[in-house]
């Protein structure tokens, strides 16, 4: 039985708490946060407490906190015999160097408190200072139904950057597109079938083959019309940068 002390009160901590409660061979022995009142809506019956209260015995202390808080929270666990683990894609293992045993458990997924998401099959990038601790993290990932992928801090940071393009930037592009539509008095839901097909094509064709549109085909007349519509608007610079990136990617094929 792997005993887990989960620290944090944000989106990731909320979703991890539910997943840990449902995992066989895992016991969530406690939830901790700077403000324990924020833990009141978390699933399960694990005891809730603040960071300054005595911690229960655990095999792994899982820090699902903001990157800027990792060092401070870890400092309070320096004397713990548990494996102290952060969940960040952008922070190195060395962030936890003050602890006797340390590791990383980074689930490559987007999490929101108001939307259920299955962890089944998602990659979890793992790293640890000792081989036996890496094996323990991989065991935890498997118990949660995830796919453990050992990776050092440099590779994890590169994948985190890739994830920002794939997830965060894609989401923001949809936001900008909906803003253009609604700003012209159009129903933004008109874009939904297009969005669904875009994602389906990415799965079946891959992004390079799936690319279409005026920049892909070198349609300068249409590009000029779009730029006129965006004149003086913040989205104009983004439109230009993405357009030029697409053109440069396919310039030998135009």
Q: How many Cβ atoms from other residues are within 10 Å of residue 249's Cβ?
A: 14
pLDDT of residue 241: 98
pLDDT digits (tens, 9 = 90+) for 177-213: 999 999 999 999 999 999 999 999 999 999 999 999 9
CA–CA separation, 240 and 200 (whole Å): 26
Domain boundary (111, 129, 151) is at 151
Cα–Cα–Cα angle for 71, 74, 79, rounded to 5 degrees:
140
Q: What is the pLDDT of residue 253?
A: 84
pLDDT band at 231 (very low <50, low <70, confident <90, very high): very high
Domain that holds residue 166: 157-253
Q: What is the CATH number of the domain that holds 230?
A: 1.10.1040.20
Residues 206 and 146 in one domain: no
pLDDT in the model for residue 52: 87
Are 39 and 105 members of one domain?
A: yes
Q: Are residues 32 and 132 in the same domain?
A: yes
Helix (H), strand (E), coil (C) string for the chain: CEEEEEECCCHHHHHHHHHHHHCCCEEEEEEEECCHHHHCCCCCCCCEEECCCCCCCCCEEEECCCHHHHHHHHHCCCCCCCEEEECCCCCCHHHHCCCCCEEEEEECCCCECCECCCCCCCEEEEEECCHHHHHHHHHHHHHCCCEEEECCHHHHHHHHHHHHHHHHHHHHHHHHHHHHHHHCCCCHHHHHHHHHHHHHHHHHHCHHHHCCCHHHHCCHHHHHHHHHHCCCCCHHHHHHHHHHHHHHHHHHHC
Q: Are 29 and 93 members of one domain?
A: yes
Report the percentage of the chain scoring pLDDT > 70.
100
Same domain, 144 and 167: no
Residues 190 and 78 in one domain: no
Is residue 27 located within the same domain as residue 79? yes
The confidence band for 244, taking pLDDT boundaries of 50, 70 and 90, is very high
User: What's the pLDDT at 252?
Assistant: 87
pLDDT band at 96 (very low <50, low <70, confident <90, very high): very high
115: CATH: 3.40.50.720
Answer yes or no: is pLDDT of 53 > 90: no
Domain count, the chain: 2
- Say yes or no: 50 and 142 in one domain: yes
Where does the pLDDT of residue 79 fall: very low under 50, low under 70, confident under 90, or very high at 90 and above?
A: confident
The residue whose two tokens read 């253009």 is 180
What pairs with residue 28 in β-bridges? 4
- The last residue of a domain, from among 121, 151, 181: 151
Same domain, 99 and 212: no
Q: What is residue 115's predicted lDDT score, i.e. its pLDDT? A: 92
| In the chain, % of residues over pLDDT 90 | 92
Task: Among 129, 151, 173, give the residue marking a domain's end.
Answer: 151
Residue 49: which of 59, 60, 57, 38 has the closest Cα? 38
For residue 128, give both structure tokens.
Answer: 């640890």
Positive or negative: CA dihedral 35, 14, 166, 103: positive
Give the pLDDT band (50/70/90) at residue 65.
very high
- Assign 56 a pLDDT band (cuts: 50, 70, 90): confident
Q: Which of 124, 9, 128, 3 is nearest to 65 (CA)?
A: 9
Q: Place 27 in a pLDDT band, splitting at 50, 70 and 90.
A: very high
Do residues 182 and 145 share a domain?
Answer: no
Q: Are residues 225 and 185 in the same domain?
A: yes
Instruction: Give the up-direction half-sphere exposure of residue 142: CA atoms within 13 A in the CB hemisphere.
Output: 9
């Amino acid at each position: 039985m792997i005993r887990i002390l989960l620290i944090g009160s944000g989106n990731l901590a909320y979703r991890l708490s539910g997943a840990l409660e449902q995992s066989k061979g895992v016991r969530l022995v406690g939830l901790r946060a700077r403000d324990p009142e924020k833990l009141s809506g978390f699933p399960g019956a694990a005891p809730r407490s603040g960071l300054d209260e005595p911690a229960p015995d655990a095999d792994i202390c899982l820090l699902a906190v903001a990157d800027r808080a990792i060092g401070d929270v870890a400092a309070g666990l320096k004397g713990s015999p548990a494996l102290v683990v952060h969940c960040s894609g952008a922070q190195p293992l060395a962030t936890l160097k003050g602890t006797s045993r340390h590791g990383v458990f980074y689930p490559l997924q987007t999490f929101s408190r108001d939307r259920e998401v299955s962890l089944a099959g998602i990659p979890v990038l793992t790293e640890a200072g000792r081989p036996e601790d890496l094996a323990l993290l991989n065991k935890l990932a498997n118990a949660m139904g995830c796919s453990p992928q050992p990776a050092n801090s440099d590779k994890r940071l590169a994948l985190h950057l890739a994830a920002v393009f794939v997830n965060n930037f894609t989401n923001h592009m949809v936001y900008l597109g909906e803003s253009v539509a609604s700003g012209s008095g159009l129903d933004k839901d008109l874009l939904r079938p297009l969005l669904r097909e875009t994602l389906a094509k990415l799965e079946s064709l891959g992004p390079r083959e799936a690319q279409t549109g005026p920049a892909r085909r070198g349609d300068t007349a249409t590009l000029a019309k779009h730029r006129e519509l965006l004149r003086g608007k913040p989205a104009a610079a983004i439109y230009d940068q993405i357009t030029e990136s697409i053109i440069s990617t396919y310039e030998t094929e135009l």
